[in-house]
Amino acid sequence: MRERLDDRELERTLSEIGERLPYPSRDMWPEVRERIAKQRARRWWPLVIPRGMLAPIAATVAVLLVVAVALTPDLVARAAEILGLRGVQIFRVNETPTPARSPVATPTFAGQPALSLADASKTAGFQVEAPAELGEPDAIYVETAPVRVTLVYRTRTGIPVSPVAGVSAIVVEFRGRLDQAVIGKTTGPEARLESVPLNGGVAYWLSGQPHQFFYFDPNGNFQPETLRLAGNTLLWERGGITYRLEAQVSKEEAVRIASTLR
Amino acid sequence: MEGRLAEDALLVERAQHGDTEAYGELVRRYQALATRTAYVITGTSGDAEDAAQDGFTKAYFALARFRSGAPFRPWLLRIVANEAKNRRKAAGRRPTVDLSVAEDRPSGDTALSPEAAALASERRTFVLGALRRLREEDRLVIAYRYFMELSEAEMAEALGVARGTVKSRLSRALVRLREIAAGEVIGDA
């Protein structure tokens, strides 16, 4: 007898199979908790780079640069062996994300637009400052979860407009100290990282074609961020706020712009 | 349904803020679903449980980038299914998996006559045989619909495809299942 199942029979049979699939009868949480604890203790830095973020994948060897100045004691314990303390260590990773190139005339930045620096400060909960050198920003955006302010400079004499975002420069500000956070950056093979003096402190200069940026916020949470301009970037910290300037300018020029923050 | 989503969202938020016991609640809530999903891919319950646990662990470390307000269940299943696929790949792929079900678990069959129950059991064996030889992706889409009873939106999220694609994928998978089954015989020839 050769019998065909009709649609209803097939569906019912599938449901019946579903009901009979094996499943664990014990509580899995203790084992999962143990795995989480183990993984936390182990090589936490490479593990936290989510796979999804590395796709689409360019088959190149990239350099992952990590800035670790001084960390909270808890983070220090975990980070010491990987990062080396107080300084910069370079990791080679096998994959790098392909930069998202979408040339648009008027880029959209995340967050709510703010009318003025004062407005932005009120929403952000900290004093938002802008480099006087660049003049008034053309647009200000404030994100609230987590708090982050983006100042947008559409065109500025002497600064080329980024083909990626269609603007000359942006300044991004968020609460977080470089000495409490780990800041890493995936870059192309050409990318370079160096520290430069700024206002008696130190700033970090990333040149080449960086396009993604990772950091840990003060709670130790991993925060990924895509660089909007995929160009040269200066990172520095002042009064508990981390600033980053993205603009296709020279290192000296970036430092000069940063020093006019007020 | 709404209540479950809201509870999940609350638990996820608490977990994101460092409350690991809230995450424990999510694990307990979805361990059966996660393990079954993995089982459909791996075909052995040992591998399935291992994949589910690793999936939960990965999901925990990925919580920071979980979009708030998004449904947790399909997001988790996607991670677990990936874990299971990797495991199967690492183990060396065989064309079929050793999928089997407990035939002794009563579930509504009690009302059936012994003959009808025997026939139903036979049908399950028959369909299971076809499922074993189905491609991994086809098996997964069928499992999401008929075993886990996910909504179309959840299926789209769990499979990582557009919502409009879910229906065509499912019907394609069912066609293939039928094609395989067509070569088989129910009962005595």
- Tens of pLDDT, residues A50-62: 334 443 333 222 3
Selecting from A14, A48, A221 the residue whose C-beta is nearest the C-beta of B146 gives: A14
Residues 23-42 of B with CB under 8 A from A: 24, 27-28, 31-32, 35-36, 39-40
Q: Mean pLDDT throughout A57-86?
A: 34
What is the token pair recorded at A210? 């960086």
Question: Is A22 within the bounds of a domain?
Answer: no
What is the rounded distance in angstroms from the CA atom of residue A47 to the CA atom of residue B18?
Answer: 18
Which carries the bigger pLDDT value, residue A195 or residue A79? A195
Residues 6+ apart with CB under 8 A from B73: B8, B30, B33, B150, B154, B158
Contacts of A222 in chain B (CB under 8 A): 61, 64-65
Interface predicted TM-score of the whole assembly (ipTM), two decimals? 0.87
Selecting from B20, B102, B107 the residue whose C-beta is nearest the C-beta of A22 gives: B102
DSSP assignment letter at A7: H
Q: Of the given ranges (A39-48, B9-18, B92-101), which has the lowest mean pLDDT?
A: A39-48
Contacts of A3 in chain B (CB under 8 A): 185-187
Over pLDDT 90: what percentage of chain B?
50
Which carries the bigger pLDDT value, residue B104 or residue B24? B24
Question: Is A100 within the bounds of a domain?
Answer: yes
Instruction: Tell me if B35 and A20 make a contact (CB, 8 A cut-off).
Output: no
Selecting from A9, A13, A35 the residue whose C-beta is nearest the C-beta of B57 gives: A35
Instruction: Tell me if B57 and A9 make a contact (CB, 8 A cut-off).
Output: no
Instruction: Tell me if B48 and A22 make a contact (CB, 8 A cut-off).
Output: yes
Query: pLDDT digits over A168-217, tens only?
Result: 899 999 886 654 334 444 444 455 667 788 888 778 887 766 555 555 55
Q: State whether residue A47 sits within 8 Å of chain B by CB.
A: yes
Question: Is A41 within the bounds of a domain?
Answer: no
Which carries the bigger pLDDT value, residue A196 or residue B35? B35
Instruction: Tell me if A2 and B186 make a contact (CB, 8 A cut-off).
Output: yes
Radius of gyration of chain A (CA): 23
Query: SS3 for A6?
Result: coil
Q: Which helix H or strand E contains A192, and what residues bound it?
A: strand A192-198
Q: β-strands A57-58, A96-97: how paired?
A: antiparallel
What is the rounded distance in angstroms from the CA atom of residue A158 to the CA atom of residue A156?
Answer: 6
What is the nearest CA distance from B72 to chain A, expressed in angstroms?
Answer: 17
Number of domains in chain A: 1
Radius of gyration of chain B (CA): 18
DSSP assignment letter at B176: H
Question: Is A3 within the bounds of a domain?
Answer: no
Question: Is A46 within the bounds of a domain?
Answer: no
Residues 90-129 of A with CB under 8 A from B: none
Q: Which is nearest to B124 in space by CA: B41, B181, B188?
A: B181
A64: confidence class by pLDDT, cuts 50, 70, 90: very low
Question: What domains can you pick out in chain B, each with its CATH number?
Answer: 1-91 (1.10.1740.10), 111-189 (1.10.10.10)
Query: SS3 for A247?
Result: strand
Residues 83-142 of B with CB under 8 A from A: 101-103, 105, 107, 120, 123-124, 126-128, 131, 142
Q: State whether residue B179 sits within 8 Å of chain A by CB.
A: no
Question: Is A15 within the bounds of a domain?
Answer: no
Contacts of A11 in chain B (CB under 8 A): 146
Contacts of B102 in chain A (CB under 8 A): 20, 22
What is the rounded distance in angstroms from the CA atom of residue A151 to the CA atom of residue A172?
Answer: 6
Domain that holds residue A157: 65-258
What is the rounded distance in angstroms from the CA atom of residue A226 to the CA atom of residue A57?
Answer: 15
Question: Is A49 within the bounds of a domain?
Answer: no
Q: Where are the beta strands (DSSP E) in A20-81?
A: 57-58, 62-68
Selecting from A10, A47, A221 the residue whose C-beta is nearest the C-beta of B127 gives: A10
Phi-psi category of residue B163: left, alpha or beta, with phi > 0 → left and psi -120 to 50 → alpha: alpha
CB atoms within 10 A of CB B28: 13
Cβ contact A146:A125 at 8 Å: no
Contacts of B28 in chain A (CB under 8 A): 27-29
> Exposure of A225 by Cβ count < 10 A (0-12 exposed, 13-18 middle, 19+ buried)?
middle
Q: What is the pTM of this model?
A: 0.52
Question: What single letter denotes the amino acid at residue A177?
Answer: R
Question: Is A48 within the bounds of a domain?
Answer: no
Instruction: Tell me if B123 and A9 make a contact (CB, 8 A cut-off).
Output: yes
Query: pLDDT digits over B133-143, tens only?
Result: 899 899 999 99
Cβ contact A235:A242 at 8 Å: yes
Residue A221 pLDDT > 60: no
A31 strand-pairing partners: none
Over pLDDT 70: what percentage of chain A?
57
Over pLDDT 90: what percentage of chain A?
20
